[in-house]
Structure formats: structure tokens, C-alpha cells
Structure 1
């Protein structure tokens, strides 16, 4: 969970401008999503105090559209993807999407006005996948290094986040290790059911 906290710290940093997101530039995706999401949280602050679960709506509308959660879910399944049916894949992607949304919603309430420094990636023109380095600085001037990995959809030309590396640990690699072990022991259907159960029981 420490890694999720670091990730959310970046995404909801104190950039207050409301801007249109340029999906053709991965650097601007990271910068602009942060700005829009934090502005929405600030505007909805009173409602979030009385209805914490409304955070899920904010995350779904302001954050998840810029995450390639389907690609991320497929990466988590890894070699087991080929063993699934279309229905199983669709069910897993939806359960994984809700799992991400709930995880981010839970951690978001720990946000404490950290500052960020985004180092633009200048070499993305001919790349399929790029990494945008970020430093997160807290009140005690302690710095945590992050790397946001984005993938370009060649048809639309849009860049979306699919993985975050915090302190050298990949969120996707961690999830893949957990899911792969569960699939081997219990099967994909049981894994989907467990994710769905956790999602249905979640509350902020």
C-alpha cells in the first residue's frame, strides 16, 4: 500500500490550473491529469467530507480515463491471458478496474500537499512506451522517486498510463506476481470472484 500512496501523491498534487489534456504528449498527460484531478477534489471537498465514497466517482471521471486499465489487466494476467475466454477476460478487466479505483480512493484520503517535480521525457516521438520520471517531495524535504510508464495507442495517438514504478518496484509486476499465484492455485474464475467480492465490500 506504501507504493499506492506514493502514486496517488503525484496524481493529486497541488497544481490548481484547470487545463485541457493533450493526450498526444505523455508529459502533458501526467501534468494535466494531476491538475484536473486535484482541482476537482478541491471543488468537491465539502461533499467528500460528508460522502467519502463519492471519491470513487471523482476517480472514475477524472483519473481512470487516462489509465489504460485494460492493457494493465492483460499485463497482470501475463501468459494466463491466452488460457481465458472472452467472457473471463472481460470480467477480469472490469474487476481489476474497480479494484484500482477502490485502491486509489482509499489512499487518496492520506494526501498531505506533497510537491512534485516532473522531468519531461523528450524522446517519445518514435517510441511505443515511455517513462516519465517524477520526484515527490514531502514536508520534511524527503524525496521519493517515481517513474510513470505510458503507452501510445497507435490508432488514436493517445498516451495513457499503464504502470507506476515506485522506489524501483513496479505496481504491475507486484500485482502480476500475486494474481499469477492465485490463478495457479484456484483458477481464473475464483480470482475474478474474489476481486468482485472485495470490490462489493469496499467502503471508504
Structure 2
């Protein structure tokens, strides 16, 4: 399969992003690993932005699948963060993550046309996520004596766990391959 003149291979492999760094390991993420460990100083500003956007979606996936949207917000993954060092990327907030999810779904339409329903689900989920009020993700319910999430947050989480996350992992790995090959990263 070619995408914008770049030959993409192994698109049928199993890809699994780890959702528990203690209990699980990533599977089939060789291109993601290459991309995220490349020399960031050698990237153009546009390339650095693309790598940062993809990394931000991967971090979002990990946080949501590991502990829900409450953990994602509690740990600040919905907000911008500058790189910690020269080897790090920027972490973009929720707005940029939604934009990248939509771009990944568009990429999926070209590279995985047989998965049009999965690509559509990623777009639909991005739209749900885009409407979450991060200031009220979890609140303390005094009647039951515990923190609860609004129904919209629970619906968004269940939809993500129900298959969107798996397709996002596949899209991230394929897009990482495209970026690596277009940047000349071996």
C-alpha cells in the first residue's frame, strides 16, 4: 500500500498499545518506537510537531485505558506540556489530540479503506471527547459518598474501551511508519 508515495508494509500485523506498564508490553509498535526515539534535534519544526501530535495521542490512549478520563485529566494529559529535555517532544492538550485523532481517521480512510466503520468510530469518538467538560470529569457525590463521572464521560470511556482504542493503536503504528519513511528514519 502506498500513501503519498511512501510504501507502507506490514499493515496487517497485530498492534497493541500497552495500557499497564507493569502488566503489559506494547506489541507490533516497532515504527512508533523508532519515531519516538529518533534524534529530535534533527527534525524540522513541522516534523517535530507531527511527532509530538502522534505522541500526545499515544499518551492519551495510555492514560484513558489505564485509569479513565478522570486519570487523564488528573495527571494533566489534557493540557499542553513543553519538552523536558532535548530528547523529549511537546505534549499537546485535548484540542490538539482531537485534531490528531481526526487526522488519523482520515489517514485510515486511505490506508485501511476496508476498516471504514472503525475509522468512522474514531471520528465519532473524537467528537464525543471534544465535548467533555474537563472541569467536571469526576465529582464527589455526597449521597453515595464517592467520586462519580458524568454520564457523558462514562459513555465516552466505554466507547473508547469498546474497540476505538485498538484501531487507534493500529493507526498510530501505521502513521509512525509513514512519518519514519518520509523523514528517512531507518
TM bucket by the smaller chain?
under 0.3
TM (normalized to structure 2)?
A: 0.24
The structure with higher relative contact order (CA 8 Å, sep 6+) is 2
Between Structure 1 and Structure 2, the one with more strand by share is 1
TM (normalized to structure 1)?
A: 0.23
